[in-house]
Amino acid sequence: QPRMAPLSKMLLVGIGIVTAASGATPVVPGMKSFGIAIKQSQLQVGVEKTVFEYTLSATATHGVMTQAWHAGKTSGVSPELRIRYYIDGETEASVDYPLFLAHATGPAQTGGTNMKPGDQPGLNNSDIGPWGNSLFGRTHDSGWYNNYQVPFQKSIKITMTDPDKNSPFWYMCRGVENLPITMAGLTLPTTTRLELVHTRQTVTAGSLVNWANISGKSGLLRQLNLVINSTDYAYQEGCVSAKIDGSTDLWLSSGLEDYFLGAYFHSMPTEHLPFSGFQVLQPATSEPEKIHLNSLAAYRIHEPDPVLFTNSFVFQWIASSDNTHKNAGYCNYDYPATAIPNTVPPKFAGSVSVDALAWVYVWDT
């Protein structure tokens, strides 16, 4: 009979597998945690309030914000609550996001509640319980967390602004000095910075929308959060693509829901998965008289499949459903792949309101 390995060896092997799979980072000298927790402070409408500041120790090469949490009625249900990170003394925050969009939620998406068995939903007409993944989530109608890495080399200041009303808030954030900046299994340079690109525009159906345009730097696309409101569904067949280093065309989807790892837009269920999420309100219909305002909220996390570039990166999507004309060439229909065109696509009836955040981490080439 075959001999079984000792239990201690089996445990060590098992631990090794778990460690490798989880991408554990070794402790390095000079690691030190910092952060704050605030209990029921107050925001004055329209007034930018500092909620945390930190300057690195003299021996630290860099710091990384690793976690943030926010709650509070009514600030936690204010879609446009602004959170800003001022990096290394900058006067205009390079990391600046509205609360809902940063957590892949639109004003119409009211899911993510304090529901418990027998309770009424925490938000009107909500049938979705708390949801989340390793990077962000919604734990209550007014409770949010994220683990976005925000690197800095000298100092950081975080502020909060409620543009709608006076509101109480609860807040926590944490970071670590000298923490290796790791994502998608890669350790990034200590000089890495987050370029958070916010695109907010209303376009005519058929328009080409740029979600990021980076030049003169190396980097990695980490994530996209997207909220769309539209008078019809003239956008669901549009493909996502990227131009890398000016010479490489990379098709990232064969339709909009495909980019978010979904399938068949018109029958897509709501999903909140580890690397993607997708929720459409007002389900699509083939009966024109029943088509009315609809809202999509989605996210895509490029954790197992990083999109890397060396000196330039253009990240784009065509807001179109014109399969008859092959989306003006901004989709690929076979192998070998066709080139991404450089022409301006034709426009069609219908308007599409786009609100997107692209997380792009960059470093010097």
CA gap 361, 356 in Å, rounded: 16
The number of helix segments (H) and strand segments (E) in the chain equals: 3, 24
Query: Which pair of structure tokens corresponds to residue 340?
Result: 């991404």
Which residues, 6 or more positions from 200, have their beta carbon under 8 angstroms from its beta carbon? Answer: 354, 355, 356
Beta carbons of 343 and 256 less than 8 angstroms apart = no
Question: How far does Cα 243 stand from its chain's mean position?
Answer: 20
Query: Which is higher by pLDDT, 225 or 77?
Result: 225
Sheet containing 82-87: which strands, arranged edge to edge? 49-55, 155-161, 82-87, 95-98
Please state, as a whole number, how many other Cβ atoms lie within 10 Å of the Cβ of residue 161: 20
DSSP code at position 154: S
Cα→Cα distances 6→9, 13, 16, Å:
5, 11, 16
> Is the model's pLDDT at 149 over the cut of 80?
yes
Q: What pTM does this model have?
A: 0.87
Poorest-confidence range of 6-20, 162-176, 334-348?
6-20
> Given pLDDT bands bounded at 50, 70 and 90, which one contains residue 229?
confident
Q: Where residue 291 falls among pLDDT bands split at 50, 70, 90?
A: very low
Residue at 361: amino acid letter: Y
Cβ neighbours of residue 302 closer than 8 Å, sequence gap 6 or more: 184, 220, 221, 222, 223, 275
Residue 240 pLDDT > 90: yes
Residues in a beta bridge with 218: 363
Structure token digits, residue 280? 């459409």
Least confident of 1-5, 59-63, 165-169, 281-285: 1-5
- Convert the pLDDT of each residue in 313-329 to its tens digit: 999 999 988 777 788 88
Token pair, residue 156, equals: 């950081």
